Amino acid sequence: MRHLGMRPRLSRLLVLALLVPAACSQPAEPVEAPASGSLDNGWAKIEGAYVRPSLPPHDLSAGFFVLENIGEEDLVVVGVESAMAGSAELHTMVEVQGVMRMRPAESFLAPIGGRVELAPGGNHLMFFDLTEAWVEGMSIPLVLRLADGRSLELKVPVRLPESSS
Ligand SMILES: [Cu+2]
């Protein structure tokens, strides 16, 4: 039931919802289901998406996910947005004179039947100017923009990366 033309209005509503203090005259709001960090819409599958707790005082966070292309067209992620971040970018890691540094990336490609994996130390999402600190237990709304105009919306949990052992 989601139409292209509705997106701007939806995002305005999201922003409004964030600006309205939680403690107004409304009776207790239903408890929101925890963010799953997953999505399966028939042509794209996302598993294990999450964002890191923010790093004060810089208001930064990074996000990760595995996107699997289960459709019949390439999935080219060209942007990311969150109603809880002033701006967000796709980032990749490159080695510069022996030091790994992050750089903005143009896009992430999940070819037909393939996948793209974002993980600490590699490709990631980067979030700036967070509207509030991101702490474990919160759910963060994300929108991934695709080159062909489609988008993927999901809610992801805030958590630390699983320790690699
Ligand atoms: Cu980065």
Record the pTM.
Answer: 0.77
Overall average pLDDT of the 93-107 stretch = 94
* pLDDT tens digits along 130-163: 999 999 999 999 999 999 999 999 999 999 998 6
Q: Tell me, what's the pLDDT at 2?
A: 46
* pLDDT tens digits along 13-22: 444 444 444 4
**3-state DSSP of the chain:** CCCHHHHHHHHHHHHHHHHCCCCCCCCCCCCCCCCCCCEECCCEEEEEEEECCCECCCCEEEEEEEEEECCCCCEEEEEEECCCEEEEEEEEEEEECCEEEEEECCCEEECCCCEEECCCCCCEEEEEEECCCCCCCCEEEEEEEECCCCEEEEEEEECCCCCCC
What confidence tier does 33 reach under pLDDT thresholds 50, 70, 90? Answer: low
Share the mean pLDDT of the chain: 85
Higher pLDDT, 79 or 27: 79
Distance 93 CA to ligand 1 centre (A): 8
Q: Tell me, what's the pLDDT at 28?
A: 53
Q: Tell me, what's the pLDDT at 81?
A: 98
Higher pLDDT, 42 or 27: 42
Distance 3 CA to ligand 1 centre (A): 32
Distance 117 CA to ligand 1 centre (A): 15
* pLDDT tens digits along 35-87: 889 999 999 999 999 999 998 777 899 999 999 999 999 999 999 999 999 99
Distance 101 CA to ligand 1 centre (A): 8
Distance 16 CA to ligand 1 centre (A): 28
Q: Tell me, what's the pLDDT at 56?
A: 78
